[in-house]
Every structure is written in C-alpha cells, then in structure tokens.
Amino acid sequence: MGSCLSADGRSSLPHSPTSPLGGRRPVSTNSRRREDQLHKVPGRMFLNGGSDVASLFTQQGRKGTNQDAMIVWENFGSRTDTVFCGVFDGHGPFGHMVARRVRDSLPLQLSAHWEVNIHSNKGLKENSSTAAGSMNSEETSSTSMDEEWMVTADLEEIEKHPEIFPTLKDSFLKAFKVMDKELRVHRKIDCFCSGTTAVTLIKQGQDLVIGNIGDSRAILGTRDEDNSLIAIQLTVDLKPNLPREAERIRKCRGRVFALRDEPEVARVWLPNNDSPGLAMARAFGDFCLKDFGLISEPDISYRRLTEKDEFIVLATDGIWDVLSNKEVVDIVASAPLRSSAARTLVESAVRAWKFKYPTSKVDDCAVVCLFLDCSPKNSSNVKPKKEQVSPRGLAMDSIKQDPTSPVMLKELSTTARDCPEILPEEDEGSEQVCHVPKEEEAWSALEGVARVNTLLTLPRFIPGGDQKRSAVQK
C-alpha cells in the first residue's frame, strides 16, 4: 500500500528521491540538526508528559505506525502569556511523516505571519489616523468615495472584534496555505495520497483563537450557573457529510458517497475512480484530491475565556469515536494529577474501544489537555450535567449509564497497557463566535463514524475499461 501504480505496474507518482536499495533517502545531517535545535526550544513539548499548564499523551493503536502527533508550545512567539497547542492525525502511507512535519513547521509559519500582521495593522492605524488628522476641507472633498469606504471597512473589521482576532485569523489562513504549499514541493515526503488533520489554537491571556481542518476536535470543560462541569464543543468535525462541504466538493467534480457496508461514513472520491475514499473534507496534503474539492483552508473561531472555563481538550478521532464530549470532560477532571490527565483519557478510550468494538483495531490516539487556571481545582464536587451547545459546536447527549462511562471503565479488567506506549519518531467574559448553520449542526451531530480507515485505497489509474471498486482495508 505504499505507492500508486499504473496498469503496467510503474509508479504514477512524481519522482521522489530514493536510495540505491529502493528505500527513501535518509534525512540529511543539516535537516536533522535543525530538528534537534527545534526540539530543544524551551517550553516546546511534543512527547508524552506534562507541566503545570498542559498534559500530552499519544499511543499507537493496532493499525501500524502511530500517525498521530501533538504539540504544546508555551511562551509562543516569545510572549509570556501565549500558548500554542495542536494535534495532528496523519493518514495514508506517509501520514506519520506529514503529521510530524506539520507539527514542526506550522507553528513557525503561524508565528512569522502573526508578527508581520501585527506590524501591518499598526501601520494601517497610524496611516489612517495621520491621514484623517491632516486632511483639510479641500483635501477631504478631493478624496474619492471608494478610498474612504476602503479605510472605513478595514477599521470596522479591526474594531468589531478584539484586535487579536482579525490579526490571528489572517495569520492562520496564510500559515495553513503556506504549509500546504510546502508539503506539495517537499522532496522527502510523498503527500500525493497522504495527509493529516490539524486542530490548533493560540491562547493569549483570555483570548482564544482556533484553526481547524479535518475531524480532530477541540472541546472546553467549563462550569454552568450551578457550578456543574459541562462540555462545550469548540470545533466542527469537517467531514464530507456536511452540506456545505459536500456542495463544494461536487462543484469541483469530486464525488461524495458512502460504501454499502458503512452507510454512515461519507467519503470523498475522484471523478472517475473509486478511490481514495477520504473520510474528511479538509486536510493538509492529499494532493490527488486537491483539484476536486478537498481544501486546506481552516475553519477559524474566536472565544473569550472566563473564570468558569477550566480546561481545553484537543484530541484525534481515536478518542471521539468511543467517548462523548461529556465523558471526556469528566475523565480529565477526575485525573489524579494534571500531568497525567492526557494519559488517563487515552487509557479510558482504549478500554472503551475494546469493549464497544472488540473486533475492530484500536485507532491511534493523541491528546492535549490545556489547563486555563494557575492552580488545580478540587473536582470532587462535579455534578452530572448535560452538555451545552456552543454556537460553534454540536449538541451531544448527556452521559449515559453504560459500561463505557468513566466510572464503569475503571471496573473493566482489560487495561490500556495491552497496547505499547509509542513515542513519536522524529522523521521529519463574553463569547464572540462565528455561527454555524443549523442544518450543519444537525449533520455534524452524527457520531460513531470511525472504527474504519480514514483512507480506504490509494488511487489507481487504469486506462480503458470499467474500473471496479477496490476497498482495501489495511
């Protein structure tokens, strides 16, 4: 499953450098040195562990190489009050390399664009202020209406949100675009049939900006008016079953349909080939589908954090396929130590996998828990409560009394230690949100669509004749 083959058995992919023995060339010494330097940056965490601020944990599933990656970067952009977090779920033959490349490169791109935009916005304000103050009546009368409208529109965009949001929104858009271009021309990572999701956030003070592509997810653990712990979903799972995503894909000649044996899983297919069957509508990489509706533009949202907000959980779909948002919040809140919260959540998810889907292969899991207050709070007074619906999130059922609830999970005899712990390899106050159409919330409320491969098959270009569907499970 490592290459795309034509009818004569030759690779149809662009030439990629290989060693005389047919393997990929080893990473150069300079590249390795740059990676080593990056991994030694103070405050940058990407392996299993934790701090007072965050907890990280990833574990390989039963499908092969761990294709999940994660990162927490404190003092991001040399700002003491700023944290960057992200989780990345790779797919395809080189998905693990794509996920880790995005983990390493995207934060740098984002930081660089953020700095540029900050200086640009300062210049815009200064220029508009100077121009307004220096105009006399004759100069004002000679100014065109179009120019006046453009200046006013720019200022309104800056003023209607906290200043950080339009600045960071533009930075996210540019960084994601540059990241995808970088992957397209990368000499050592073949991204034609491989890609990754990305759910990322920047928290500066009480301001939270999230950029998301794919079906990894971010949720918020917060308190309601009764001081009960509830879950608020912060991102939408960007899958082909969403009407707006399906419409865009079809307009670009891509196809969206589900296989007969998994009718709940909508997939993206090439116009004339029943492949690759990608189970998401946005992703980095996957360039075989980029001309047919798949995009890497992130869904971006803003939230103003309050004193009731306790923590944020970012996780790949290996978690969400078996645990509800409320269950995840309860598990994290009940962890004995903050530094072990992510591991506790992953172990609970693995137990749930084995109980709910004993014949399925456990998926890779990666979790980042970001704690929003400085001192741990006593979570013993948590009351069971239904999840709330954020305008940015989805309505989920309240936690049910079933064998996979956090309490019952502890009683199961099977432990997550049956799966070996794998560390990533180094291959390379008020709420302001954008509202999601109600029809998209209804479509997004579908759960339990994992347990299947994100990518079914690699594209095979066979000239002439009808091509039969090939759904090769790895």
Query: What pLDDT was estimated at residue 140?
Result: 40
Q: Give the separation between CA 347 and CA 336, rounded to whole angstroms.
A: 14
Q: How many helices (H) and strands (E) does the chain have?
A: 11, 17
| Spatial contact of 314 and 218, defined as CB atoms under 8 Å apart | yes
Closest CA to 374 of 1, 10, 52: 52
Query: What pLDDT was estimated at residue 465?
Result: 42
Query: What pLDDT was estimated at residue 198?
Result: 98
- The 8-class DSSP code of residue 362 comes to P
Task: Tell me which CATH code domain 43-131+148-418+429-444 carries.
Answer: 3.60.40.10
Query: What pLDDT was estimated at residue 452?
Result: 62
Per DSSP, the residues of 229-253 read EEEEE-S----TTSHHHHHHHHHTT
Phi and psi at residue 330, to the nearest 5°: -65, -40
**In the beta sheet, which residues pair with residue 412?**
none
| Spatial contact of 286 and 193, defined as CB atoms under 8 Å apart | yes
3-state class of 12 per DSSP? Answer: coil
Note if the pTM is more than 0.85: no
Query: What pLDDT was estimated at residue 434?
Result: 39
Query: What pLDDT was estimated at residue 228?
Result: 95
Provide the token pair at 380. 């013993």
For β-strands 267-269 and 255-257, DSSP reports them as antiparallel
Element holding 331 (H helix, E strand): helix 325-333
Closest CA to 316 of 424, 237, 216, 233: 216
Domain boundaries, the chain: 43-131+148-418+429-444
| Spatial contact of 474 and 456, defined as CB atoms under 8 Å apart | no
Per-residue pLDDT of the chain (474 residues; tens, 9 = 90+): 333 333 333 333 333 333 333 344 445 566 677 677 777 888 899 999 998 899 999 999 988 899 999 999 999 988 889 999 999 999 999 999 999 999 999 999 999 999 998 877 665 555 555 444 544 444 444 334 344 434 444 445 445 567 889 999 999 999 999 999 999 999 999 999 999 999 999 999 999 999 999 999 999 999 999 999 999 999 999 999 999 999 999 999 999 999 998 899 999 999 998 899 999 999 999 999 999 999 999 999 999 999 999 999 999 999 999 999 999 999 999 999 999 999 999 999 999 999 999 888 899 999 999 999 855 544 434 444 444 444 344 333 333 334 444 434 443 333 333 333 333 344 443 333 333 444 444 444 433 334 567 776 555 544 444 444 333 333
| Spatial contact of 332 and 56, defined as CB atoms under 8 Å apart | no
Query: What pLDDT was estimated at residue 381?
Result: 41
Q: Which residues contact 354 (CB under 8 A, 6 or more apart)?
A: 362, 412, 414, 418
Which parts of 331-453 are beta strand (E)?
365-371
Query: What pLDDT was estimated at residue 320?
Result: 96
